[in-house]
Homo-oligomer: A and B are copies of this chain.
Amino acid sequence: MMKKTAYIISHSHWDREWFLPLETLRYRLVTLLDETANLLENKDGFDYFHLDGQTIMLEDYLSVKPGERERMERLVRDGKLRVGPWYMLQDAFLTSSEANVRNLLYGMQDAQAFGAVERIGYFPDTFGIYGQAPQLVKQAGMDSVIFGRGVKPTGFNNQVFEGGYTSPFSEMYWEAPDGTRVLGVLLANWYSNGNEIPVERAAAKAFWDRKLSDVNAYASTGALLFLNGCDHQPVQVDLPEALDVARELYPDIDFKHSNFTEYVSELRKLLPSDDLQVIEGELTNQRTDGWSTLVNTASSRMYLKQANQRVQQLLEKLVEPIAVMATQVGKTVYPEEYLKFAWKLLMENQIHDSITGCSVDAVHREMETRFMKAEQAARAILDDKVTGIVRQMDTIAKFDGGAESIPIVVFHTSGYAATRVVTMDVELERTYFAEMPFEEIPAYLNGLPSVRLEIRDENGNLVDVDVTELGMQFDYELPDRAFRKPYFARRYQVSFVAEDLPRLGFATYFAVPVAGEIEVVSVENDANRLENQFLEVAIAENGSYSVSCKESGQIFFWAWNVCGSR
């Protein structure tokens, strides 16, 4: 019989926030990394620590201990502390494709900045995985994936049930829709199957007999994988002693303190040539017994999902393409670092226990603030880049609407031409505090003659518009090279249809002030009645009221807590 090798990989699965909030768990994270660094530096036989596939753990640690950065870099460079490839352990379905790409991109950048990337697609706890994951990791230079869920029915404590398992082995090939194939290793006995290894001989014997049997039930080769860790697991300080005992107890097995790169490399040499299963596409085949909450995370705390979608779309569909456009028209550079900053603010919320809404309330309260901040950062980039583009345009040349006409540039960042309703504010008579004593400005503006606004396209053609007069309003400019400039102005909301917007481009319109009142549909009224050419509203003695449509004759009737039509 060939000698088997047990690969023991020390790690701690770090749910950044979950049943406790971030700042409570961060304290334990700092302890974990301090202790781990000490072991890696000083303890014989404690050679590696896998930092759960996510670089955010190092960020969180260094926020408290910024002075330890060089020490961490040294441990990563020396191959002892294994970091990346992800920035964080995301939920794979509640986040966009681009978000998953960025997560890998930023994670690999940051891991590399520390000194090295652990090039294993690591999905230990992901609640199901998208089918293109093999493509993503392959394009990022990886050919192996480790995952904990998605191809097996599991019960309490994430153990595989007897029977019903879609692959006979924990090793298999995983194929994406485009045919990309990677080696996949299922953590069939979960990511804790080598946790808390006893040093005491009798306990160690009982432990290993059970754990070896569990692993052998699924292993296709003699390379046996043991994960020495679990959720927020403190590092096992006597692991080298425990492995010495194991070596004495099982002389036929080679116990190695190892890392995923080494394990996968050795595993590949031993894989059976033809009888590994090929699984395809999405890994969602997790038939839980209902005890688990995972199945309900797609719909819990829906406001979080909505906020994530809003900010994700803002970054992907507006900020990114506009930032790229801006690089084409002038001296502005692509805001790579700021986009990374904004994305990271959002990504803190895309972690698998965060966006899923399955954590304690304090976690989700903090998430609302993060969404708000990510949106602020995204809009700050957007505003700056839009301004940068518009300043390069000679809108005056396009249409001569007179000195008073206000150019409106409508950006369209989709890859398809489209017709869209544009609703925005337009200001007239912006009057700065520097121009007259500020308390005199309102009377000055109110004394100006009424105007109405026309919208014309760049050829001067009139475009239908709805205008709402918003009245005189205070606001300020923040110039690039000067102090803020407060002003009052007359503000109008305009709504018009922009026809056939070009793909990934823009169209120019002009708001043109024209002498005269805004056309108001005439209203007649007495104490209990309002009427114009379209509608009549009548208020009855009992407080109910009716709205009649003159054209159709239909009457809508409202009373206290009663709403219907008759």
Within 8 A of B (CB), among A61-119: 63-65, 67
A337 near B65: Cβ-Cβ < 8 Å: yes
Instruction: Name which residue of chain B comes closest to A234, CB basis.
Output: B481
Contact A365 to B372, CB < 8 A, known contacts A63-B341, A192-B483, A337-B65:
yes
Jot down 22 A-B pairs with beta carbons below 8 A, ordered by A: A19-B476, A21-B372, A23-B374, A23-B380, A24-B379, A24-B380, A26-B377, A27-B384, A28-B380, A63-B341, A64-B337, A64-B338, A64-B341, A67-B337, A230-B483, A231-B483, A234-B480, A234-B481, A234-B482, A237-B481, A368-B369, A369-B369
Contacts of A338 in B (CB 8 A): 27, 30, 64
In-complex Cβ contact of A365 among B19, B23, B369, B377 (8 A): B369
Whether, in the assembled complex, A428 has its beta carbon less than 8 Å from a beta carbon of chain B, the answer is no
Whether, in the assembled complex, A362 has its beta carbon less than 8 Å from a beta carbon of chain B, the answer is yes
Whether, in the assembled complex, A563 has its beta carbon less than 8 Å from a beta carbon of chain B, the answer is no
Contact A27 to B373, CB < 8 A, known contacts A231-B483, A234-B481, A483-B195:
no
Instruction: Name which residue of chain B comes closest to A375, CB basis.
Output: B23
Chain B: minimal CB distance from A360 (Å):
11
Contacts of A65 in B (CB 8 A): 337
B376 near A21: Cβ-Cβ < 8 Å: yes
Give Cα A64 to B196, complex, Å: 40
Instruction: Name which residue of chain B comes closest to A345, CB basis.
Output: B23
Whether, in the assembled complex, A256 has its beta carbon less than 8 Å from a beta carbon of chain B, the answer is no
Contacts of A24 in B (CB 8 A): 376, 379-380
Contact A233 to B380, CB < 8 A, known contacts A369-B366, A369-B369, A373-B366:
no
- A331-371 CB mask vs B (1 if < 8 Å, else 0) is 00000011001000100000000000000001001101100
Give Cα A337 to B63, complex, Å: 10
Give Cα A26 to B372, complex, Å: 14
A484 near B232: Cβ-Cβ < 8 Å: yes
A231 near B484: Cβ-Cβ < 8 Å: yes
Whether, in the assembled complex, A315 has its beta carbon less than 8 Å from a beta carbon of chain B, the answer is no
- A211-235 CB mask vs B (1 if < 8 Å, else 0) is 0000000000000000000111110
Give Cα A313 to B483, complex, Å: 39
Among A64, A374, A482, A484, residue most surrounded by chain B Cβ atoms (within 10 Å): A64
Task: Give the number of times this chain occurs in the complex, counting copies.
Answer: 2
B231 near A381: Cβ-Cβ < 8 Å: no
B372 near A362: Cβ-Cβ < 8 Å: yes
Among A232, A233, A341, residue most surrounded by chain B Cβ atoms (within 10 Å): A341
Within 8 A of B (CB), among A453-492: 476, 478-484
Beyond the given A19-B476, A65-B337, please list 4 additional residue pairs across the A-B interface where CB-CB is below 8 A: A23-B345, A26-B377, A195-B483, A362-B376
Chain B: minimal CB distance from A388 (Å):
12
Give Cα A379 to B374, complex, Å: 27
Give Cα A368 to B369, complex, Å: 9
Instruction: Name which residue of chain B comes closest to A342, CB basis.
Output: B23
Instruction: Name which residue of chain B comes closest to A196, CB basis.
Output: B482
Whether, in the assembled complex, A507 has its beta carbon less than 8 Å from a beta carbon of chain B, the answer is no
Instruction: Name which residue of chain B comes closest to A229, CB basis.
Output: B483
Give Cα A365 to B64, complex, Å: 24
Give Cα A9 to B151, complex, Å: 66
Whether, in the assembled complex, A276 has its beta carbon less than 8 Å from a beta carbon of chain B, the answer is no
Within 8 A of B (CB), among A105-148: none
A22 near B341: Cβ-Cβ < 8 Å: no
In-complex Cβ contact of A196 among B381, B384, B483 (8 A): B483
B377 near A27: Cβ-Cβ < 8 Å: yes
In-complex Cβ contact of A376 among B22, B64, B196 (8 A): B22
Contacts of A195 in B (CB 8 A): 483
Give Cα A514 to B565, complex, Å: 70
In the A-B complex, the 7 residue pairs with the smallest Cβ-Cβ separation, listed nearest first, are A23-B376, A27-B380, A369-B369, A23-B377, A64-B341, A23-B373, A230-B483
Contacts of A476 in B (CB 8 A): 19
Instruction: Name which residue of chain B comes closest to A481, CB basis.
Output: B234
Give Cα A384 to B63, complex, Å: 19
B478 near A28: Cβ-Cβ < 8 Å: yes
Give Cα A234 to B377, complex, Å: 19
Chain B: minimal CB distance from A442 (Å):
16
B483 near A380: Cβ-Cβ < 8 Å: no
Within 8 A of B (CB), among A364-422: 365-366, 368-369, 372-374, 376-377, 379-381, 384
Give Cα A24 to B384, complex, Å: 11
Give Cα A63 to B63, complex, Å: 10
Give Cα A211 to B31, complex, Å: 57
Within 8 A of B (CB), among A10-32: 19, 21-24, 26-28, 30
Chain B: minimal CB distance from A383 (Å):
8
A483 near B64: Cβ-Cβ < 8 Å: no
Chain B: minimal CB distance from A210 (Å):
15
Give Cα A192 to B341, complex, Å: 32
Instruction: Name which residue of chain B comes closest to A369, CB basis.
Output: B369
Among A30, A192, A362, A369, residue most surrounded by chain B Cβ atoms (within 10 Å): A369
Chain B: minimal CB distance from A110 (Å):
9
Give Cα A195 to B481, complex, Å: 11
Give Cα A231 to B485, complex, Å: 12
B478 near A373: Cβ-Cβ < 8 Å: no
Chain B: minimal CB distance from A280 (Å):
35
Give Cα A379 to B372, complex, Å: 26
